[in-house]
Amino acid sequence: MTKILFVGPQGSGKSTQARLLAQFLHLPYISTGDIFRRLRQENSEEGRAIKQILDSGELVDDQITAELVKKGLKDIDVQNGFIMDGYPRTLEQIKFFDPGFDKVFYLKLSDEEALKRLLKRGREDDTEDLIAERLRIYHEQTDPILDFYQKKGTLITIDGEGIIEQIQDRIRRVIGGQE
Ligand code: AMP
């Protein structure tokens, strides 16, 4: 059973890397961003509330998020483990529900490089102001979980600069070296 988490700022390619590793290891992939983007489409009170939060670049409530993750993990086959993308994002979320990761891959990228990549992507919600706001929230809320996993000895920092294949190689080298 291998439980792996991916953490990194927007633009670090964490979803791409997590998906590729999931394919390689034949493990299920679960992403809170995907869960919320699905909910956002729903024409319900919950859907509208989530849309507002996502569009502002803020984080969804910790307890709601933790419950959704628990439910999401029940719905998939996690017998051999799983690759998680995007949960936990705050220390508080770990208190609500801690999946107990064996490895935490942190894709490290400078704010300047993240900004450059996201502006190039040119999505409607990728204005310079919104990107800067999301990076600010990321540092404020998510940086502390890096210390948490560092102290636990599960944090593996990966250089997030370079092309997709190079970064995936760096990750697989770590996996290969440990197993
Ligand atoms: P992502 O695709 O991981 O960047 O997530 C997209 C959006 O979903 C984030 O900007 C948050 O609004 C929300 N989200 C994803 N994961 C979490 C989480 N663990 N806690 C709170 N909000 C989250």
Domain count, the chain: 1
Closest C-alpha to ligand 1, atom 3: 33
pTM score of the predicted model: 0.94
Q: Is residue 160 part of a domain?
A: yes
Nearest atom in ligand 1 to the alpha carbon of residue 53 is 12
pLDDT tens-place values along the chain, 179 residues long:
899 999 999 999 999 999 999 999 999 999 999 999 999 999 999 999 999 998 888 899 999 999 999 999 999 999 999 999 999 999 999 999 999 999 999 999 999 999 999 999 877 778 888 899 899 999 999 999 999 999 999 999 999 999 999 999 999 999 997 65
Residue 3 has what DSSP assignment?
Answer: E
For residue 157, what is the domain's CATH number? 3.40.50.300
Domain that holds residue 170: 2-31+79-175
CB contact at 8 A, 160 and 32: no
Q: Is residue 27 part of a domain?
A: yes
Closest C-alpha to ligand 1, atom 10: 57
Q: Is residue 59 part of a domain?
A: no
Q: Is residue 109 part of a domain?
A: yes
Residue 112: how many CB atoms within 10 A of its CB? 8
From CA 144, how far away is CA 126, in angstroms rounded? 25
Q: Is residue 49 part of a domain?
A: no
